[in-house]
Amino acid sequence: MKYLKFLVTVLTATLILSCGEKPKPAFNPEERVEDILSQMTVEEKVALTHAQSKFSSAGVPRLGIPEVWCTDGPHGIRAEVLWDEWDQAGWTSDSCTAFPALTALAASWDPSLAELYGISIGEEARYRKKDVLLGPGVNIYRTPLNGRNFEYMGEDPYLASAMVVPYVKGVQSNNVAACVKHYALNNQETARFFTDVSVDDRTLYEIYLPAFKAAVQEGGAWAIMGSYNLYKGQWNCHNQYLLNDILKGEWGFDGVVISDWGGVHDTDQAITNGLDMEFGSWTNGLTMGKTNAYDSYFLAQPYLERIRSGKVGTTELDDKARRILRLIFRTSLNPEHKTGKFTSPEHYAAARKIGAEGIVLLKNEGGLLPIKDARKVLVVGENAVKMMTVGGGSSSLKAQHEISPLDGIREALPGVEVVYERGYVGDASGAYNGVTTGQDLSEKRSAGQLIADAVKAAQDADYVIFIGGLNKSDFQDAEGNDRKEYGLPYDQDAVIEALAAANPKLVVVNISGNAVAMPWVDKVPAIVQDWYLGSEAGHSLADVLTGVVNPSGKLPFTFPVALEDGPVKTLAQYPGIPGDRKWESPFSSVPILEEEYTEGIYVGYRWYDAKQVKPLFPFGHGLSYTTFEYGEPSVSKAVTADGKVTVRVPVTNTGAVAGAEVVQVYVSDPEASVDRPVKELKGFCKVWLEPGETKTVSVNLTRESLSFFDAASHSWKAEPGHFDVLVGSSSADIRGSVGFELKE
């Protein structure tokens, strides 16, 4: 008993001692940042602000501060390059998972998939010890000629905002900064270095800024990348209005502004106009690959010289260094240590799921799809076999594997004779920055013979699947140049017309990141909009074609019948007209183009609604292998000054197959005192339904949903009065409406 009492006494004392110990102070990154900042020299602070290699900037070894390492995204982790060159470093362990292009993610209309995407790619970046992922991209789809549209999230600011926030959060959950790009008004590749955009403030705030704002204020993005073009006469990588006034001022952004590679042009503006980190500059006539050019960067020796001579102070420098240190403590020095993972089964499963749910079934007459009871399937088209992960610019990847559409279809149809014919020759090459596909796509047959062979094979096939579209070659879906035409390249229309005449069971699969002309649309019973789907491309497509996955993707941008149907019509609108100023670069002297966004807020479906022009396929369009019936929508109450209204609509799966429907909620303000679009997307919900099942979908609207930007007062306004809520399956397929009053 005495021993027992002694033991209880000891244990109690130990507990009291333990409870009485002072807890360790919580990690406070802001205190650490200020502490480190106070110990740094001016030279060390300046060294933080500019690159030391193609993709890294210096740390402070003396104080234990590591370097910052960036990697290209946003669809996968770029292969390692040499310190000073773009050529491959020759690693054997840098073959990544290639995820679907962001157009495919946006087409899923599923924020949970955006989060999965962000988590997965963030894990790959952290495993490779990268601190900043250069993505995602959220520039608005203004013209289908933009070669880089495939990297972005479509034409609508609400959709892009809803999809970018979970992506950013997912990436940053791995202690990797998402660097949202390209801020802002970067809507073309033609003359991207020397185009000065003129746009009114209302259009800027309503169309081109919302996704960036959402990434910052809702997603908590730690980095933003400036764009190459100019706005208000200043390059956007050091733009007072965009970076200081809006981003860091109005939005309270506390992260870093990173230049696009080669996007900095002036030391004084780089110091004062909001830039924090400079990468990829070409200074003093140095070539792109010049070794040890980094000391000549605009924020390197020229910056130090200005400080030492007293021309500038160190207030801006301290702000830049503080932001960079904050970035480092959020990433590599984050005490919540993450290790990540690379090319894991989970990542491939994520890529396959995202790809399949982003595929859009555009047309399906007679229920031709999914494939059933087939003995022979003919697959035609170069895009059925051509690798798409290599090429396209900075998003080019060295993928561990890439399943082609042809291989995916063959794997999904065991016991079925799957025959392949080339049909056309597009681009037989397959290399970018030292990464090669290893494919031999050479062809000896003439164009006429290729079509004849395909037609012959089509005559006794149960299904003919043409897989074509665009590719990642220059002047197609690729960085650096825009498309030259809206139609399909390589005379693919002739191949499709011939196949349609040979066999009525024709499926056309268009692989692209852009809308394309389809003059044969009425002759083809089934059309599928595929995208650049990365490592699991063939599996994702085959899942949809065979019905393993019921398609649920919806278009994130409008398909016009013809290019001239859209809002961008004049040279002044695109690509711009040469002005009086010149861009003096180490390579050339060219006039700066002046470009006017005179279409204003009428981008995408807003334009087609206003002009009553019927598109080929409208924004938000996408079919299913089942059917959905919408009930009458209702609203909970009128919106008050601090309230919200909830829109509810019952949706029933009236078909025989389980599937998902994207219920889209548009708002119309018929009594506005200003010119407003016929309707604007302000909410959506993707709902899964079993056959015969009914669910009530709820979408919340707030005063923000009803507001327009008033340039005169520089504020958002929601005018009291009547509003209509339009609920539909696409922007052109409205199933019901309900009105309500906004009170004072």
Which sequence positions are flagged as catalytic? 260
Q: How far apart are the first and last CA of the chain?
A: 78
| Rounded Cα distance, 698 and 54, in Å | 48
How crowded is residue 671: how many other Cβ atoms within 10 Å of its Cβ?
Answer: 13
> Do the beta carbons of residue 646 and residue 696 sit within 8 Å?
no
> DSSP string covering 183-251, please?
ETT---STTTTSEEEE--HHHIIIIISHHHHHHHHTT--SEEEEPSSEETTEEGGG-IIIIIIIIIIIS
Which one-letter amino acid corresponds to residue 421? E
Cα three-residue angle 464-465-469, rounded to 5 degrees: 140
- For residues 682 and 158, the answer to whether their CB atoms sit within 8 Å is yes
Give the amino acid at 162: A
CA 546 to chain centre: 28
Instruction: Identify the three-state secondary structure at position 698.
Output: strand
Tell me the C-alpha to C-alpha distance, in Å, between residue 673 and each of 368, 701, 710, 713: 49, 21, 11, 15
**Cα–Cα distance for residue pair 216/627, rounded to 1 Å:** 38
Measured CA to CA, the distance from residue 443 to residue 440 in angstroms comes to 9
Complete DSSP assignment for 31-50: HHHHHHHHH--HHHHHHHTB
CA atoms within 13 A on the CB side of 656: 2
CB 286 within 8 A of CB 586: yes
Query: Which residue type, as a one-letter code, is found at position 305?
Result: E
CA distances for 518 relative to 155, 236, 310, angstroms = 20, 37, 63
Tokens 């001016």 locate to 42
List of residues 6+ apart from 522 with CB closer than 8 A: none
> Residue 71: which H helix or E strand, with range?
strand 68-72
Rounded Cα–Cα distance for residues 86 and 432 (Å): 10
Angle at 443 between CA 441 and CA 446, to 5 degrees: 145
Sheet holding 360-364: strands in order across? 360-364, 526-530, 506-511, 463-469, 376-380, 417-421
Cβ within 8 Å of residue 552, ≥6 positions away: 108, 357, 622, 624, 659, 660, 661, 662, 686
Other Cβ atoms less than 10 A from the Cβ of 487: the count is 15
Q: At CA 673, angle to CA 667 and CA 678, rounded to 5?
A: 30
Provide the token pair at 270: 């780089």
Those residues with Cβ within 8 angstroms of residue 612's Cβ, 6 or more apart along the chain or in another chain? none
Instruction: Provide CB contacts within 8 A for 336, sequence distance 6+.
Output: 175
389/433 Cα distance (integer angstroms): 13
Residue identified by tokens 């861009």 is: 583
Phi, psi of 350, rounded to the nearest 5 degrees: -65, -45
**In 109-203, alpha helices (H):** 111-127, 157-172, 201-203
